[in-house]
Amino acid sequence: MRRRDENFPENGFEDGGGYMQVKIAKLEAQFSSCVGKEVTRLSNIFNGVSIYVNGFTKPSADELKELMAQHGGVYHTYQRSNDYIIASNLPDTKVKNMSLSKVVKPEWITESIAANSLLDYRKYLLYKNSRTQPQLNFNKLIATKIKTDESHLKDERENIEQNLTYDSDKGLNEMGKSSNVSTTDTKPVLNKVNRNDCLAKTAVDPNFISEFYNNSRLHHISQLGAFFKQHVNDLRDSSDFSFPARTALKNNILSSSHTSLHADTSFDNGKVIMHIDMDCFFVSVGLRKRPELRGKPVAVTHSKGSKPQTKREGVDRNTEFNLYKQKQAKKLGKVTGKTEDEIFIESRVDNVGDEDNEYGSLSEIASCSYEARAKGIKNGMFMGPALKLCPNLQTIPYDFEGYKEVAYTLYNTIAQYTLDIEAVSCDEMYVDCTELLKDLKVSVQDFATALRQEIKDKTGCPCSTGFGSNRLQSRLATKRAKPDGQFFLTSDLVEDFMFSISLKDLPGVGRQTSQKLESLGHQTCGSLQTLTLGLLQRHLGNKTGAQLFDQCRGRDPNPLTFHTIRKSVSAEVNYGIRFETNDQCFHFLKQLSAEVHSRMQQFKVLGKCITLKLMVRAEEAPVETAKFMGHGFCNVLNKSSNLTNATNDIEIITKEVISLCKKQKLDPKELRGIGIQISKLEQVMSKPNNSGISKFLNKNKNVPGSNWTPKVENDVGTSCDVKNQIKVEDNTKYSITPKKKNTSSHINKSPKHELKSSPVKRRGRPPKSLKYSLMNAKSSMDKFLGGEIQVKEELPAQTVPEIIKEETPKSSDSNQDGLLSLSWEKVRELLRAWLDSGQSPKLCDTRMIASYLSKLVAKKDIDKVYILMNFLKRRTHEIDMDIWIEVYNYVLEDVQNSMIAVYGNKLWINN
């Protein structure tokens, strides 16, 4: 840039002081001219007041310009020294480099007009404390003590209750998402010292964790969700998949006077997926005990009302809230390419007042009625802004026992007709109704009507259902069906339906992705359909781009998951974390490790990866948080440790967690949240398994002299007993002795036969090269799939009793190594018999196969793993059922994780 003292060529603006001075004078003249001619003067409220609008505001800059003209004020397009700066949000760079003494919220203008007088601007300052002034160092409190007299003790406890929030499961989320500053509302954790004193507990208290989880609503809700996912698993494991209740349902539908003559509906690919969701679940359950509130705006929350609280020293809500917004704006700026000034962040705290304000409650609304939603209230909104929108909002408490009761009824009602259920939460699920509807031979419309009525009769709560050919379509259909309705997204409606769907309504499209798409000029699915796959992937990445390319057209390739597999176990606390010493911190880590250990025992899992999450107060954040004892604005650190062997040993977990914490060398006074997560889980088989394969392995084990052989069919369909030998060299050879076909035998009955087998023999050392192993295994696989099986006569069964005796498990206890106790050929044929059984696979069987293959990887028997995985892939895809594809994907994930751990590479699988 040229310096000011350099000579510039003449440009015609010299007499006016330069181009900018002339431009400013011209704009002010235009404003004066507009005031004199076009705008009707309504009052002189802002006589002598000039404003400058900085950034996005509500009302907008143009609207404020007109208001100032109507009421005697001056609007400057360029800022002058005596202007009041009108702003709703300022980026951190501006906050640091400007005086904040006259930065005022736009409400100052609108509320002054409403009052017909100029109000004190100081009550509307965007920042109450100037950032240019030195900050006061308030002492950090281990516990906040609130002194009251006896008559006000109850009110103070309610005030604290309105302000306390916990988040045991989700931790810190960005502003404007499902959780902000701190998300889980709870009842207060208080110690009553005497009649006049209440002492809030912190993490230093030995009973803190137990009371924390007893009061945490998100903990209860997440536990309910996990419980019903496991409930579906248990129902499937114990079921014979016969559904006698279908007959009654069919008769009920056919005899109903409301049965309509619907034309046959057609869904893409012949699939009929139902999404079922209870309407305003928490509210609906709560209103069963409060019928007088039906039809009124109602919210479920811990808050009791709008009583102002005593303001705590050191709290600066505006600064804390704006730090969240600035962080989010920076993220969006990187995604969209916009400057921070061009990005407006709308969040739940925009209209929250100070603690001593009647609209200052930060208690979170978990659920609200449709009457409340009509007033602008939403789930997740804080009570302060909600009361501004609806002063007569009624509140009801949580009813966790009621939620569990209704959820049980919901799941068991569906389970009596089908178990093709993917549990989502305690009040939401997906159901594959394809087979069910074929069996019932009724229209999907009549089925939905009857099912919803049955659920409403049993629970007293309404629900909505959506139907489509995949999970995406059914979920979007449910949104159209609400409240208390049903919608069918048939194949002929998909194209037009998806065209107008907002991109924000697509699952997985969050704030950053939607902002990025908006910057490209796309807000609806119809608009996005104009972009090619390559262009989407170039802007959003391969995975997200491909996902959105399908989603905007109503396509979703992901099948339903009927068996839910737990991926991790965790425990997190981000309320009440206030330490003075490292010893206090380490003692708490021991307690939290014990909580994680208890949960691992509950789920019967071991884990290999331990992750410690630490929330540390950001340097620029106030010491006292906006939420009483909450975590405030933090930096989040995640550190992990990978163990050699999976474990749930509490001493090992505690040792690793404390070691990870010590390595960070943090000041314990700055900690605001702590979480421990165990991942890379393995299932613990604590007692004999009653699964199909286990029963097959252990059948007749107590019958003297009984030797069994699994009955299978080979690739050409002939029945044979498994008698084989294997040699693993450069080529693998198999020999199976056939028997005469017994027409009275059936594949799935596993009759008694005698087995002759020799132990696995390996010549030479195992291959040192993974590539060599895979080439060798591929040759074996080609022969296996090609049916190149050598057949020869073997010695009579009576000549090898010792071999059979040696290989057959003596008892269930001897089967602790699972399939490793059998020869590899037996496992291979047993796997084939399982796949050809015609029965639905059980989770315990799938886990057994996955565990066996993972152990083969650990033993570096890659050739066997390669053969079995490719065989499993081929057969499961030939069966062409979603549940068997899920089996393959589950096993593949375990095998690939083991491969990475042992070799650092994944196993190559044939296409």
Average pLDDT over residues 323-338: 79
Quote the pLDDT of residue 424: 94
Range of 133-137, 335-339, 647-651, 801-805 with top mean pLDDT? 647-651
Helices (H), 287-417: 317-336, 370-373, 383-389, 400-415
pLDDT tens digit sequence for 24-57: 666 666 665 555 455 678 888 998 899 999 887 8
- CA 46, 49, 52, 56 torsion-angle sign: negative
pLDDT tens digit sequence for 490-505: 999 999 999 999 999 9
Model confidence at 272: pLDDT above 60: yes
Model confidence at 155: pLDDT above 80: no
d(CA 86, CA 107): 9
Quote the pLDDT of residue 496: 93
pTM: 0.58
Model confidence at 759: pLDDT above 50: no
| Catalytic entry in 428, 572, 624, 682 | 428
Quote the pLDDT of residue 716: 30
Contacts of 81 (CB under 8 A, 6+ apart): none
Quote the pLDDT of residue 197: 38
Model confidence at 243: pLDDT above 60: yes
Quote the pLDDT of residue 29: 61
Convert 780-824 into a string of H (helix), E (strand) and C (coil): HHHHHHHCCCECCCCCCHHHCHHHHHHHCCCCCHHHCCHHHHCCH
Quote the pLDDT of residue 250: 93
161 flagged as catalytic? no
Model confidence at 341: pLDDT above 70: yes
d(CA 388, CA 859): 66
Quote the pLDDT of residue 180: 33
Tokens for 189, please give them.
């954790």
Quote the pLDDT of residue 56: 78
Model confidence at 4: pLDDT above 60: no
Quote the pLDDT of residue 5: 44
Tell me which H or E stretch contains 610: strand 605-617
Model confidence at 685: pLDDT above 70: no
Model confidence at 300: pLDDT above 90: yes
Convert 696-730 into a string of H (helix), E (strand) and C (coil): HHHCCCCCCCCCCCCEEECCCCCEEECCECEEECC
d(CA 629, CA 568): 28
Q: How confident is the model at residue 425 (pLDDT cuts 50, 70, 90)?
A: very high
Query: What are the two backbone dihedrals, phi and then psi, of residue 249, each rounded to the nearest 5 degrees?
Result: -65, -45
Q: How confident is the model at residue 123 (pLDDT cuts 50, 70, 90)?
A: confident
Range of 208-212, 251-255, 756-760 with top mean pLDDT? 251-255
Model confidence at 303: pLDDT above 60: yes
Q: How confident is the model at residue 76 (pLDDT cuts 50, 70, 90)?
A: confident
Quote the pLDDT of residue 405: 93
Residue at 851: amino acid letter: S
Quote the pLDDT of residue 486: 96
Q: Which of 278-282, 581-585, 599-603 has the lowest mean pLDDT?
A: 599-603
- Contact (Cβ atoms closer than 8 angstroms) between residue 422 and residue 429: yes
Higher-pLDDT residue of 852 and 479 is 479
Quote the pLDDT of residue 407: 94
Model confidence at 736: pLDDT above 70: no
Average pLDDT over residues 430-445: 94
Could you check whether the bond before residue 557 is cis, i.e. omega within 30 degrees of 0?
no
Q: Which of 46-60, 89-103, 415-429, 829-843 has the lowest mean pLDDT?
A: 89-103
pLDDT tens digit sequence for 532-577: 999 999 888 899 999 999 999 999 988 898 888 888 999 999 889 9
Higher-pLDDT residue of 497 and 206 is 497
Q: Which of 322-331, 339-348, 715-724 has the lowest mean pLDDT?
A: 715-724
pLDDT tens digit sequence for 381-402: 888 889 989 999 999 999 988 9
Q: Give me the chain's average pLDDT, please.
A: 75
Model confidence at 288: pLDDT above 90: yes
